[in-house]
């Protein structure tokens, strides 16, 4: 047994089901727990994500008995200094699969720092699920089947009676980032994650297949922020799911997260570049006044505006409406998906790079979806179908609260639709759909099918 180990918290801000933490505690008589805060990256993250992270770190510190070290800097600069200052003899962490995390790991290796990496943020680490010929999957459904066949380990318990080192006073650089005025971010931390999951198991998962597409009801788990920061591990979730159809649909959502991580692992440029490169040739409009209207929830299409206002108010948006607003930006406003993805990354507290980039590309028609580009979401019909009574719209667009269904989805069709100051439509959806299809014809995409159509 070495004298003192170090555990480097990254995207695993929890104690339960954390094999790398257990390895660190097993290795040393005592253990220093640290989180390295890169302020340059944090500054680019936006106030919502910073506020959530600050709350999560405070919660983690409480669970460690006030013994979490938070140190500002880059990992390859901070960790060697900490090793020397605290007499560290072994270093442990979970493996990262993000571009930033891999850069940190490479810099530490170049500096001669040896780290034992155990586990990751996924039930099955990116790169593990492969076709029989050894290549990676490009289509979700066969990936899902192989992912299920591969399987995953059972979750492990939180450590008992861990002996954490009290950090020096100067190594407690906790940020004081607060939630932006007027925002209502959900509670962060492992305890909040486990409580939310327990509530979902009791009151939501058995109807998930029926309720998950309705943004106006609590039909989803809202666990995505907790998964992004590692306050709960997907293994913990998967271990509680049964074989019912509702549970199976939810299990597939976990698999979508892992599929996108696998795709980004094999095609790292797709975090901000096209998976199907032929779509670079399409004509796009530069973001301007219409983009600003989209950002501010003032497009004149109620379901789009409600969703964008939810994002700015809560740092989160329902998955169904994420697709609706993404389609509207790309297909109705003809603006490249990267602009929308960047806006999402500014506000989303569940800002998973892989899921965000490839969720946007799926909707834009240039990603891993085998369906062609000509799928265009109709924002009026999407509202009528998934918010039929208009409750979601009334919550976030109070200018329309006086309208009843179905008028609330088409306020321009009734005399008092604009009586409370709601904005008029910035585009005509029917016309822009035809324009979108015309631009598709210009690049003759049918002559060069996206790689996703080749299983």
Backbone angles phi, psi at 267, to 5 degrees: -130, 70
Tokens of 382: 């999407």
Per-residue burial over 75-96, b if 16 or more Cβ lie within 10 Å, else e, is bbbbbbebbeebebebbbbbbb
Euclidean distance between the first and final Cα of the chain, in Å?
49
Give me the phi and psi of 224, to 5 degrees please: -60, -40
| Pairing between β-strand 28-37 and β-strand 2-9 as defined by DSSP bridges | parallel
CA distance 333 to 286: 10
Report pLDDT for 1: 47
What residues are paired with 69 via a beta bridge? 34
Token code pair at residue 29: 């008589």
Q: Are 339 and 291 in contact (CB under 8 A)?
A: yes
Whole-structure pTM value = 0.94
Residue 310 CA: distances (Å) to CA of 45, 110, 273, 315: 19, 44, 27, 7
Position 450 scores a pLDDT of: 47
Residue with tokens 């959900």: 186
Strand partners, 35: 9, 70
d(CA 319, CA 377): 14
pLDDT for res 451: 46
10-residue mean pLDDT profile of the chain (455 residues): values are 88 98 95 95 87 96 98 96 96 95 96 96 97 96 97 96 95 92 90 98 96 95 97 98 97 98 97 94 96 98 98 95 98 98 95 96 89 84 98 98 96 97 98 95 62 38
Residues paired with 32 in a beta bridge: 6
The span from the CA of 49 to the CA of 217, in Å, is 24
Tokens read off for 72:
């500002």
For residues 411 and 401, the answer to whether their CB atoms sit within 8 Å is no
Domains of the chain and CATH, by start: 2-120 (3.40.50.620), 122-155+190-266 (1.25.40.80), 271-453 (1.10.579.10)
Inter-residue contact 234 to 120 (CB < 8 Å): no
Q: Rounding to the nearest 10 degrees, give the CA dihedral for residues 396, 402, 404, 410.
A: -70
């Amino acid at each position: 047994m070495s004298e003192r180990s170090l555990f480097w918290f990254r995207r695993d801000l929890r104690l339960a089901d954390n094999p790398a933490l257990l390895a660190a505690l097993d290795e040393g008589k005592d253990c220093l727990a640290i989180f390295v805060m890169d302020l340059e990256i944090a500054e680019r993250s936006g106030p919502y994500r910073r506020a959530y992270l600050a709350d999560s770190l405070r919660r983690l510190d409480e669970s460690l008995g006030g013994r979490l070290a938070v140190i500002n800097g880059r990992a390859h600069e901070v960790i060697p200094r900490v090793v020397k200052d605290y007499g560290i003899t072994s270093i442990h962490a979970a493996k990262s699969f993000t571009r930033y995390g891999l850069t940190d790991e490479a810099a530490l290796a170049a500096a001669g720092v040896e780290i034992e990496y155990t586990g990751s943020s996924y039930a099955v680490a990116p790169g593990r699920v492969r076709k029989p010929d050894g290549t990676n999957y490009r289509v979700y459904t066969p990936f899902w089947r192989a992912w299920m066949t591969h399987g995953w380990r059972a979750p492990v318990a939180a450590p008992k009676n861990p002996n954490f080192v009290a950090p020096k006073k100067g190594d407690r650089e906790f940020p004081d980032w607060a939630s932006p005025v007027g925002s209502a971010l959900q509670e962060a931390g492992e305890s909040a994650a486990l409580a939310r999951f327990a509530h979902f198991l009791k009151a939501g998962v058995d109807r998930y297949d029926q309720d998950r597409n309705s943004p106006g009801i609590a039909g989803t788990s809202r666990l995505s922020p907790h998964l992004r920061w590692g306050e709960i591990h997907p293994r913990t979730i998967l271990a509680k799911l049964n074989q019912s159809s509702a549970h199976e649909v939810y299990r597939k959502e976990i698999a979508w997260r892992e599929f996108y991580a696998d795709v980004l692992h094999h095609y790292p440029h797709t975090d901000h570049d096209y998976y199907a490169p032929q779509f670079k040739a399409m004509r796009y409009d530069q973001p301007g006044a219409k983009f600003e209207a989209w950002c501010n929830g003032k497009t004149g299409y109620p379901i789009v505006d409600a969703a964008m206002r939810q994002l700015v108010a809560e740092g989160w948006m329902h998955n169904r409406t994420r697709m609706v607003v993404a389609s509207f930006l790309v297909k109705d406003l003809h603006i490249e998906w990267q602009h929308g993805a960047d806006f999402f990354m500014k506000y989303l507290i569940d800002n998973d790079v892989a899921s965000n980039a490839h969720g946007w590309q799926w909707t834009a028609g240039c990603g891993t979806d085998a369906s062609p580009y000509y799928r265009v979401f109709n924002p009026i019909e999407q509202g009528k179908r998934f918010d039929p009574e208009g409750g979601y719209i009334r919550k976030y667009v109070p200018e329309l609260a006086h309208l009843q269904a179905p008028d609330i989805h088409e306020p321009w069709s009734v005399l008092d639709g604009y009586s409370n100051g709601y904005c008029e439509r910035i585009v005509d959806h029917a016309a822009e759909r035809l324009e979108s299809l015309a631009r598709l014809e210009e690049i003759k995409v049918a002559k060069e099918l996206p790689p996703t159509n080749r299983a």
